[in-house]
Amino acid sequence: MHAGIEIAFAGRSNAGKSSAINTLTNRSRLAFVSKTPGRTQLINYFKLNTDQFLVDLPGYGYAKVPDSIRQHWQNLLSNYLQTREPLKGLVLIMDIRHPLKPLDIKMLDWFAPTGKAIHILLTKADKLSAQQANITLKDVALYLKSAYPQCTVQLFSSLASTGVEGAATVISDWLGAN
């Protein structure tokens, strides 16, 4: 175990988690991007500095794997999110076209009781018109305000570089705060 800070990235399979990590670190092949859901099957640590890590968690939801493996992932995620001391915050990735699905709510329910920070990236914002993206952002923010007040949320697109600076600022703040 290290004495550093971890920022975890979680999200449904194919929501754009690996793309977000690559965009935010300005490295095109740090996290493996695949069109096949469920490719990330382990907890992957990416070392930023001596004591700073981004953690890519397995995607949840759709994955062509046996139920026993799916249950193992669920236990692994739940245990990591609820008990990991160096974990400073969670970046939760949601495809803007499908936000707040039941498994996203379950992820929030697992992590929110820790009291640690949660920042939601509504990815693939380039797939909607600016007006529709902003309506979705407003709806999600309104829901979070009452249900999970420690959450922040923003639009994000790796392809269009939307929200990259804002997300990078949130993560930098978390990494700098001890």
Domain count, the chain: 1
Does residue 126 lie in a domain region?
A: no
User: Widest CA span of the chain, in angstroms?
Assistant: 45
Does residue 77 lie in a domain region?
A: yes
Domain that holds residue 46: 1-10+24-92+104-120+137-160
Q: At 45, which CATH number? A: 3.40.50.300
Token readout for 135 is 């309506």
Does residue 16 lie in a domain region?
A: no
- Residue 118's φ and ψ, nearest 5 degrees, are -135, 130
Strand 87-95's sheet: what is its strand order? Answer: 44-49, 52-56, 5-11, 87-95, 117-123, 151-155
CA dist., res. 139 & res. 59, Å (int): 24
CA dist., res. 38 & res. 107, Å (int): 16
Token readout for 35 is 């069109």
Mean predicted confidence (pLDDT) in 98-126 = 95
Which of 31-40, 62-71, 85-94 comes out lowest in average pLDDT? 31-40
Does residue 168 lie in a domain region?
A: no
Does residue 155 lie in a domain region?
A: yes
What digits encode the pLDDT tens for the residues 18-46? 889 999 988 755 554 444 444 455 788 88
Mean predicted confidence (pLDDT) in 76-98 = 93
Does residue 15 lie in a domain region?
A: no
Average pLDDT, the chain: 87
